[in-house]
Amino acid sequence: RSAEMAKLTQLIDNEVFRAYATYTVIVLLKMMLMSLITAYFRITRKAFVNPEDTAVFGKGESAKKNLRTDPDVERVRRGHLNDLENIVPFLGIGLLYALSGPELSTALLHFRIFAGARIVHTFAYLIPLPQPSRGLSWAVGYAVTILMAYKVLKTALYL
């Protein structure tokens, strides 16, 4: 039993894999934060999409007028969807990249730039910063993911 655990945890003892774990958790927590920001704007702007969500603000017409879209809510939701579209590829490609035996320093560089780019992207989207801030931060995260994908294919290609 404990020998088996030792073997299993060998993965989490590897430094490259620990770096992957750390930065993956960071970007996933950042993505999860978008849910809270959406909820915050829905409540403060009184802009809901489900009739049952407006009940706390009274019944009838006064509740119905809270069933509406709000520009700030929609902006956070777009940022959240953009996270999904970009962090899902990182989740899969980053894992395979971490298992493909990269140099620790190279792997750290990729993970740090990706996480940094996604954090800048969130600020650029929510504040919002003038373009091309958001476009560039998106492109940096995208490019890092492509580079990791190339390394995975070079190491593991089996069609």
Q: How many CA atoms lie within 13 A of 138 on its CB side?
A: 15
Q: Which is nearer to a second copy, 95 or 140 (CB)?
A: 95
Residues in a beta bridge with 67: 48
Confirm or reject binding of residue 157 to a second copy (CB under 8 A).
yes
Report the alpha-carbon distance of residue 101 to residue 11 in Å, rounded. Answer: 12
Q: Does 57 contact a second copy by CB under 8 A? A: no
The DSSP-derived string for 98-147 is: HHT---HHHHHHHHHHHHHHHHHHHHHHHTTPPTTHHHHHHHHHHHHHHH
Backbone φ and ψ of 86, nearest 5°: -105, -30
Looking only at residues 27 through 46 of this chain, which bind a second copy when binding is defined by CB under 8 A? 28-29, 31-32, 34-35
- Tell me which of 47, 76, 80, 118 binds a second copy, using CB under 8 A: 80
Question: Which listed residue (41, 46, 136, 153) binds a second copy by CB under 8 A?
Answer: 153
Q: Where on the chain is the footprint of a second copy (CB under 8 A)?
A: 4-5, 7-19, 21-22, 24-25, 28-29, 31-32, 34-35, 49-50, 52-53, 55-56, 75, 78, 80-81, 84-89, 91-93, 95-96, 99-101, 128-131, 134, 142, 145-146, 149, 152-153, 155-159
